[in-house]
């Protein structure tokens, strides 16, 4: 094996700590967090995440010092059943270190931000005791994500894969008693969990097939054997990669399983930023990049993956145009950007996909956190406005009479730029980066994907280019609706900037989003060379395409046109309060389709959910109730038992046992009744019988 | 001259039968006690008669025991009779049937 040549020791023995430090933070907060102040709980959680980042940096430096040679750190024996051998081992290579740096780095900033955000959120939602739970879940998430990226086998990856799914579920339903009808958030959590289970079936099938074909799940061994098997039966590898794609569509929210991600916005906004934008949803991209030695062997699978990614990127971008909820726009944008990444890794442009993953983590985390700042700014404004009118210390009671105020609806915003300066500027940076305007990070990463696509797959290239245009348009629309123009509600008029603990992470992320492109400039390709160490270990040739001016010009031009169009519709003449969206007049039913998400949820309900519910009704009514309960349990089991019991009761107990007992008693009574006749009470009778007895005995003795 | 043993035995038998019939037919407790004494003494007579006839002291010894036991029996029996009379003003045995089954 390759890793055996590399020495394990020194810095690399720290590798397990990236899992155990956040775990320790979580356990500490679980045990003692109840007695600590909010600042301390949040501080400990952030410190755990930050320390993890430091370890990741150390691992990265150590890896750089030995020229990117992958290292496997064995930790524990796990499953040894016959030929099936899987251990807990930590794989440190440039790919996993990249993921660790992103997860822990962005994660730490989001932890710090959450200290401020959750402080207000728990007050707003009315349950401050849940502040600690939030950070417990967040640290657990970091630990699980680390297992996912650092695992040395598909099984260990799957442990993390499921673990982050669990954290996602727990955090989407964080305010489980809130939302539509009081269960909206819980339903959103369930939806995410169930849709992910569908994807996980694909993951499991992929692993079963892997083990069946390769007899091992360890990365090194699988990738060593892969070329041989591809030479004889490429269909196996095709099957494995396609099963894996099903898992990817679930976790990374691709068509057809993307529907859970927009609903996942029910979670607190830092969760949306960390889990549902920057890290967890990129696990699918990481999986494909990790499995690069498999995917490159079957071009057919690669085409399917690229097409799924391209379609998702385009489809989700159209939906994002029609959304009015500030977080829903970003959610569909995330789905769309994940489509870019999946398309990239599908085409074999692993470096481009991973590069976009990193820069997307920066600017999308930034956008989500900034939108959280906007939402809380609106809430503060709403609160202030309410106080000014009523001087009521308990505004919640009065509120119930009015229609509920939605602090996430962009139609209620407008003109926030003046009131929230920092948030406004970082949002602009994030939006421009997402739109792909040079020289921000999004331009370089997206452009690299487009460049690769223009060479490898024209269909995907066209889809992605159109998606990039839509991206610029909906981000322009959002910025103008939220920050510019005139306030469209009283809350927006009084909105207030967030505290420094929230804005500081925003500024850092903004810097990262701005300069992230430096990681992989078209000339030096620093990031590309860094990742090459991992891929070259499996003899994958990573050719870097030269910078192409036409591709960059087209995408930049389209982005500028998108922003200009957004300005034409939303900037030149800002929306008035209660005004219809100007796009509706132009696009008509197409805009309604965008707004209603192309009725995908309704179609899924019609095709899958409702038939499934009806099928379960049938099963419940006929199979469970009628057959099992009414017939089998009631008639067969209970009926025959009753009859047996009746037989025992009447025949055996009453018929035999009782008769014996009663007969004994009755017989004794009858005999006694007859015997008592002898007892006359007259002395002479006794004397006579005595006398006769003596006579008889003596007579017998004499006459014998 | 010696009285033949048969005479003693016959007298003893007659006395015993008289006593037994007395116990069976009389109702007065005191008379019944006297009848019982008669039976005992009939037996005593037979004992001493045979003792003399066989020139053995065994019979004599038995009689002493019987007399002693009879004396004790009479003492207990008479005290019971007195106790019964005190409670019921009557010593008719046919009225004393409260132990009837």
From B20, B25, B98, residue closest to A681, measured CB to CB: B98
Q: Is residue A643 part of a domain?
A: no
What local confidence, expressed as pLDDT, does residue A9 receive? 67
Q: What is the pLDDT of residues A217-238, one digit of tens each?
A: 999 999 999 999 988 888 999 9
- DSSP state, residue A484: S
Q: Is residue A221 part of a domain?
A: no
Q: Is residue A441 part of a domain?
A: yes
Residues in B closer than 8 angstroms to A684, CB to CB, are 23-25, 93
A218 bridge partner residues: A153
Residues in B closer than 8 angstroms to A698, CB to CB, are none
When pLDDT is cut at 50, 70 and 90, the band that residue A683 belongs to is confident
Please choose, from the candidates B36, B44, B30, B6, the residue with its C-alpha nearest in 3D space to the C-alpha of residue B18: B36
Question: What contacts A554, CB < 8 A, 6 or more positions away?
Answer: A465
From A675, A680, A691, residue closest to B97, measured CB to CB: A680
Q: How far is A656 from chain B (nearest CA, A)?
A: 33
Which contacts (CB < 8 Å, 24+ apart) does range A451-455 have?
Answer: A451/A352, A451/A545, A451/A547, A451/A548, A451/A551, A451/A552, A452/A344, A452/A347, A452/A348, A452/A349, A452/A352, A452/A545, A453/A306, A453/A310, A453/A343, A453/A344, A453/A347, A453/A349, A454/A548, A454/A551, A455/A545
Residue A436 belongs to domain spanning: 298-385+422-588
Cβ within 8 Å, pair A687-B24 = yes
**Probe site for chain B from A679, A684, A694 (most B CB atoms < 10 A):** A684
Number of domains in chain A: 1
What local confidence, expressed as pLDDT, does residue A403 receive? 63
Q: What is the 3-state secondary structure (H, E, C) of A558-619?
A: HHHHHHHHHHHHHHCCCCCCCCCCHHHHHHCHHHHHHHCHHHHHHHHHHHHHHHHHHHHHHH
List the structure tokens of A292: 């690069």
Please choose, from the candidates A395, A564, A389, the residue with its C-alpha nearest in 3D space to the C-alpha of residue A469: A564
- Asked whether the bond before A469 is cis by omega within 30 degrees of 0, the reply is no
What local confidence, expressed as pLDDT, does residue A665 receive? 95
Q: Is residue A362 part of a domain?
A: yes
Residues in A closer than 8 angstroms to B100, CB to CB, are 679-681
Counting every residue written for chain B, the total comes to: 101
List the structure tokens of A94: 């440039």
Q: What is the pLDDT of residues A624-650, one digit of tens each?
A: 999 998 999 999 999 999 999 999 999
List the structure tokens of B13: 């038998």
**Probe site for chain A from B21, B24, B80 (most A CB atoms < 10 A):** B24
Residues in A closer than 8 angstroms to B20, CB to CB, are 691
- Within 13 Å and on the Cβ side, how many CA atoms surround A439? 8
Q: Which residues of A touch B (CB under 8 A)?
A: 675-684, 687-688, 691
When pLDDT is cut at 50, 70 and 90, the band that residue A8 belongs to is low
Residues in B closer than 8 angstroms to A682, CB to CB, are 93-94, 97
Q: Is residue A529 part of a domain?
A: yes
Using an 8 Å Cβ cutoff, are A505 and A423 in contact? no
Q: Is residue A579 part of a domain?
A: yes
When pLDDT is cut at 50, 70 and 90, the band that residue A365 belongs to is very high
B43 touches chain A (CB under 8 A): no
Using an 8 Å Cβ cutoff, are A477 and A321 in contact? yes
From B23, B98, B101, residue closest to A676, measured CB to CB: B101
Please choose, from the candidates A335, A342, A350, A270, the residue with its C-alpha nearest in 3D space to the C-alpha of residue A309: A342
B36 touches chain A (CB under 8 A): no
B101 touches chain A (CB under 8 A): yes
Under 8 Å CB pairs connecting chains A and B tally to 31
Answer yes or no: is pLDDT of B24 > 70.
yes
Q: Is residue A394 part of a domain?
A: no
Q: Is residue A29 part of a domain?
A: no
Distance from chain centroid for Cα A308: 20
Residues in A closer than 8 angstroms to B99, CB to CB, are 679, 681
With tokens 């132990």, the residue in question is: B99
Residues in A closer than 8 angstroms to B30, CB to CB, are none
Q: What is the pTM of this model?
A: 0.78
When pLDDT is cut at 50, 70 and 90, the band that residue A159 belongs to is very high
Using an 8 Å Cβ cutoff, are A238 and A246 in contact? no
């Amino acid at each position: 094996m390759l890793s055996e040549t590399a020495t394990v020791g020194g810095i690399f023995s720290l590798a397990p700590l990236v899992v155990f430090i956040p775990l320790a933070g979580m356990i500490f907060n679980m045990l003692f967090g109840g007695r600590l102040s909010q600042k301390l709980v949040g501080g400990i959680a952030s410190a755990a995440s930050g320390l993890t980042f430091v370890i990741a940096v150390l691992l990265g430096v150590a890896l750089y010092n030995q020229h990117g040679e992958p290292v496997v750190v064995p930790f524990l024996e796990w499953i040894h059943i016959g030929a099936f051998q899987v251990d807990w081992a930590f794989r440190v290579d440039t790919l996993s270190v990249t993921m660790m740096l992103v997860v822990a780095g962005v994660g730490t900033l989001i932890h710090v931000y959450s200290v401020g955000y959750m402080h207000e959120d728990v007050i707003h939602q009315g349950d401050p005791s849940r502040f600690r739970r939030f950070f417990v879940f967040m640290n657990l998430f970091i630990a699980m994500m680390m297992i996912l990226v650092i695992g040395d086998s598909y099984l260990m990856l799957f442990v993390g894969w499921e673990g982050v799914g669990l954290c996602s579920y727990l955090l989407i339903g964080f305010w489980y008693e809130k939302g539509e009808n009081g269960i909206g958030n819980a339903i959103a959590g369930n939806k995410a969990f169930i849709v992910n289970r569908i994807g996980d079936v694909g993951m499991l099938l992929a692993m079963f097939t892997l083990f069946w074909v390769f007899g091992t799940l360890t990365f090194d061994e699988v990738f060593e054997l892969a070329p041989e098997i591809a030479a004889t039966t490429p269909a196996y590898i095709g099957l494995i990669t396609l099963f894996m794609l099903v898992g990817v569509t679930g976790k990374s929210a691709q068509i057809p399983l993307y529907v859970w991600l927009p609903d996942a916005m029910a979670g607190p906004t830092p969760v949306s930023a960390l889990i549902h934008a920057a890290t967890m949803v990129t696990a699918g991209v990481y999986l494909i990049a990790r499995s690069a030695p498999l995917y490159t062997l079957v071009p057919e699978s690669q085409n399917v993956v690229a097409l799924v990614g391209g379609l998702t990127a385009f489809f989700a971008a159209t939906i994002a145009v029609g959304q009015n909820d500030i977080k829903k726009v970003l959610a569909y944008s995330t789905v769309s950007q994940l489509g870019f990444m999946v398309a990239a890794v599908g085409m074999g442009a692993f470096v481009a996909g991973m590069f976009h993953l990193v820069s997307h983590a920066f600017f999308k985390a930034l956008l989500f956190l900034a939108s959280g700042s906007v939402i809380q700014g609106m809430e503060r404004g709403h609160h202030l406005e309410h106080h000014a009118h009523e001087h009521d210390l308990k505004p919640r009671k009065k509120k119930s009479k009015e229609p509920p105020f939605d602090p996430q609806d962009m139609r209620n915003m407008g003109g926030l730029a003046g009131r929230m300066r920092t948030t406004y500027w970082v949002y602009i940076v994030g939006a421009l980066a997402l739109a792909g305007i040079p020289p921000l990070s999004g331009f370089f990463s997206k452009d690299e994907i487009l460049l690769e696509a223009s060479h490898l797959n024209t269909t995907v290239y066209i889809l992605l280019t159109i998606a990039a245009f839509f991206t610029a348009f909906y981000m322009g629309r959002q910025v103008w609706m939220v920050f510019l123009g005139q306030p469209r509600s009283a809350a927006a008029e009084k909105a207030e900037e967030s505290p420094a603990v929230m804005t500081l992470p925003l500024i850092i992320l903004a810097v990262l989003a701005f300069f992230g492109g430096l990681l992989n400039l078209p000339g030096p390709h620093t990031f590309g060379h860094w990742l090459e160490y991992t891929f070259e270990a499996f003899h994958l040739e990573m050719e870097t395409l030269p910078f192409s001016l036409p591709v960059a010009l087209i995408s930049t031009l389209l982005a500028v046109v998108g922003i200009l169009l957004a300005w034409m519709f939303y900037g030149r003449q800002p929306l008035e309060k209660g005004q219809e969206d100007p796009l509706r007049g132009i696009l008509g039913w197409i805009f309604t389709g965008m707004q209603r998400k192309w009725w995908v949820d309704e179609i899924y309900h019609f095709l899958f959910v409702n038939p499934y519910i009806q099928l379960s009704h049938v099963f419940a009514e006929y199979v469970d109730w009628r057959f099992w309960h009414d017939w089998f349990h009631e008639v067969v089991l209970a009926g025959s038992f009753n009859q047996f019991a009746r037989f025992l009761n009447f025949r055996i107990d009453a018929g035999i046992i009782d008769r014996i007992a009663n007969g004994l008693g009755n017989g004794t009574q009858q005999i006694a009744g007859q015997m008592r006749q002898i007892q006359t009470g007259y002395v002479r009778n006794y004397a006579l019988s005595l006398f006769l007895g003596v006579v008889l005995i003596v007579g017998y003795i004499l006459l014998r | 001259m010696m009285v033949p043993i048969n005479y003693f035995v016959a007298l003893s038998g007659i006395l015993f039968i008289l006593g037994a019939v007395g116990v069976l037919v009389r109702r007065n407790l005191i008379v019944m006690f006297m009848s019982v004494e008669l039976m005992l003494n009939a037996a005593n007579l037979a004992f001493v008669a045979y003792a003399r006839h066989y020139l053995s002291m065994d019979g004599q010894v038995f009689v002493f025991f019987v007399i002693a036991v009879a004396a004790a029996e009479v003492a207990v029996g008479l005290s019971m009779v007195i106790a019964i009379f005190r409670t019921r003003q009557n010593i008719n045995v046919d009225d004393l049937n409260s132990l009837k089954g």
